[in-house]
Chain A
């Protein structure tokens, strides 16, 4: 396995369950027990009702491409190796996520259905990406 040079997340007390679930290839989100909102990224309190009663729940891993861009010239050398698809995916449960679409750039469209694809970039870190949903 070649060395990985791109930036890695540093999990915090709040976000650690999200990243450990990703390592197990599970997509877990916080959900507010008071207003039932699903939350991404992990927060100290519900950004809707401000309750601190949040619990972790597995979600479907399915969503829709809300927007995307093919980055031809990255702002940093770390991503300059080849064009990549940066996307905002709207999960079926509601929240939007910044992610990558693992597919040929020319095939990606707004509104396209996608499903989670876990990318074990290092032994300690798994990034949450998406790929086209075969229907």
Chain B
């Protein structure tokens, strides 16, 4: 029993991230993206009988899924909040497929969205982080990823310019994406290295920019998928793993739980990394992409630095990676940032990526990453010929 080939993404909706949300609320943005996704799927709101929603930092609360359904006027047979940070969207894909396969519902709307007005980091709600991290200034994700990057450089000799190359190639992709926030001018390795150090060794241009926005997709089973207006994008493999909450207490700073999640996803799909036509690894920071390439098996452990220098990660390169620009150039509207990897993979496989379309794209690898390399969800998607 597995979720292989049990459900497909048939519709997507996504707003262009903004720094000026005005008086928008996370729910208003989610409603907009949700309506787009339902229409894109060729369905009506009344067809939606399952809802998975991610937490909005701008509207945190318990019992959130019912509030979302009430606002949208949906009477679901399955509803839940997926709370695995940046892995939430990828996590929704297999959860929706499992619910559909189990007969609990037929059409699942997966929603994320957020409004970001604050420059200030909110206190962690996890009591142990408040007690053992905050007093020492381990606040916000920048610190954790900086600790990881520093250790990766120490263990493997990874260089700042190698990390910078990831942001540079992804920017080239963003220039072809009208929805990307940073899509007006190219970026060079020198630009990245000349940007201010925020937490050593991380430069400003290696770090996502928080924004407001929303994204949504609709997943259905085979029967509805057959009537879909766009080519359905099938879930072929999925894996999930988590090794820690705070990076200090992980088994390793440089070897992530992607080792397990990606292995499980590839095994279920019966495929290898070399079979992928494009990849969408979560990219809150450049180091996140580098470690994903290593731990998912696209290159040997520790070789991520030379690997990204040797390969063209752009939409026209030999390893198209985050062809929407990644969050680094697309922007990070809360958990909708993590959904951008899913929507982009779906868009590419449907053949709707416009000027940045990867030719003959059939298989895509998507990795969602929550917290500081803690929650990992890997999925493999396919467009059937």
Evaluate contact between A74 and B139: CB separation under 8 angstroms.
Answer: yes
Evaluate contact between B137 and A110: CB separation under 8 angstroms.
Answer: no
A70 touching B135 in the complex, CB below 8 Å, given contacts A88-B248, A98-B246, A110-B151: no
Chain B interfacial residues counted at CB < 8 A: 36
Partner of B150, one of A12, A15, A67, A97: A67
Is A8 positioned at the interface, with any CB of B under 8 Å from its CB? yes
How many Å lie between the Cα of A70 and that of B151 in the bound state? Answer: 13
Evaluate contact between B131 and A12: CB separation under 8 angstroms.
Answer: yes
How many Å lie between the Cα of A122 and that of B198 in the bound state? Answer: 29
Evaluate contact between B136 and A100: CB separation under 8 angstroms.
Answer: yes
How many Å lie between the Cα of A97 and that of B138 in the bound state? Answer: 11
Residue of A nearest to B137 (CB): A79
B156 neighbours in A (Cβ, 8 Å): none
A68 touching B150 in the complex, CB below 8 Å, given contacts A8-B135, A9-B132, A73-B199: yes
Is A20 positioned at the interface, with any CB of B under 8 Å from its CB? no
Residue of A nearest to B198 (CB): A73
Q: Which residues in chain B, 80-137, are within 8 Å of chain A measured between CB atoms?
A: 120-121, 123, 127-128, 130-137
**Nearest CB of chain B from residue A104's CB, rounded to whole Å:** 13
How many Å lie between the Cα of A110 and that of B153 in the bound state? Answer: 10
Residue of A nearest to B139 (CB): A75
Q: Which residues in chain A, 101-135, are within 8 Å of chain B measured between CB atoms?
A: 110-111, 127, 129
Q: Mark B295-320, 1 if CB is under 8 A from A, else 0.
A: 00000000000000000000000000
Evaluate contact between B196 and A10: CB separation under 8 angstroms.
Answer: no
Evaluate contact between A15 and B131: CB separation under 8 angstroms.
Answer: yes
Is A38 positioned at the interface, with any CB of B under 8 Å from its CB? no
Is A37 positioned at the interface, with any CB of B under 8 Å from its CB? no
A86 neighbours in B (Cβ, 8 Å): 136-138, 143, 146-147, 199
Interface size of A as a range: 35 or more
Q: Which residues in chain A, 59-117, are within 8 Å of chain B measured between CB atoms?
A: 66-77, 79, 84, 86-88, 96-100, 110-111
B128 neighbours in A (Cβ, 8 Å): 41
Partner of B197, one of A6, A72, A75, A129: A72
**Nearest CB of chain A from residue B370's CB, rounded to whole Å:** 18
How many Å lie between the Cα of A10 and that of B130 in the bound state? Answer: 8
Residue from A7, A70, A97 having most chain B Cβ neighbours under 10 A: A7
Partner of B137, one of A6, A15, A88, A96: A6
Is B200 positioned at the interface, with any CB of A under 8 Å from its CB? yes
How many Å lie between the Cα of A87 and that of B134 in the bound state? Answer: 13
Evaluate contact between B130 and A67: CB separation under 8 angstroms.
Answer: no
How many Å lie between the Cα of A58 and that of B124 in the bound state? Answer: 30
How many Å lie between the Cα of A66 and that of B253 in the bound state? Answer: 9
**Nearest CB of chain B from residue A68's CB, rounded to whole Å:** 6
Q: Which residues in chain B, 339-373, are within 8 Å of chain A measured between CB atoms?
A: none
Partner of B131, one of A9, A72, A75, A99: A9
Evaluate contact between B249 and A96: CB separation under 8 angstroms.
Answer: yes
How many Å lie between the Cα of A70 and that of B248 in the bound state? Answer: 16
Is B142 positioned at the interface, with any CB of A under 8 Å from its CB? yes
How many Å lie between the Cα of A96 and that of B151 in the bound state? Answer: 14
How many Å lie between the Cα of A15 and that of B135 in the bound state? Answer: 15
Evaluate contact between B132 and A98: CB separation under 8 angstroms.
Answer: yes
Evaluate contact between A84 and B137: CB separation under 8 angstroms.
Answer: yes
Evaluate contact between B136 and A98: CB separation under 8 angstroms.
Answer: yes
Evaluate contact between B143 and A6: CB separation under 8 angstroms.
Answer: no
A10 touching B136 in the complex, CB below 8 Å, given contacts A72-B197, A88-B253: no
Evaluate contact between A7 and B150: CB separation under 8 angstroms.
Answer: no
Evaluate contact between A67 and B154: CB separation under 8 angstroms.
Answer: yes
Listed in ascending order, the chain B residues whose CB lies under 8 Å from chain A are 120-121, 123, 127-128, 130-140, 142-143, 146-148, 150-151, 154, 196-202, 246-249, 253
Listed in ascending order, the chain A residues whose CB lies under 8 Å from chain B are 6-12, 15, 41, 66-77, 79, 84, 86-88, 96-100, 110-111, 127, 129
Pick 30 A–B contacts, CB within 8 A, sort by A: A7-B123, A7-B134, A9-B132, A11-B131, A15-B131, A41-B249, A66-B151, A67-B148, A67-B151, A68-B150, A69-B147, A69-B199, A69-B200, A69-B201, A69-B202, A70-B197, A70-B199, A71-B137, A71-B146, A73-B142, A76-B120, A86-B147, A88-B247, A88-B253, A98-B132, A98-B246, A98-B248, A100-B137, A127-B135, A129-B136
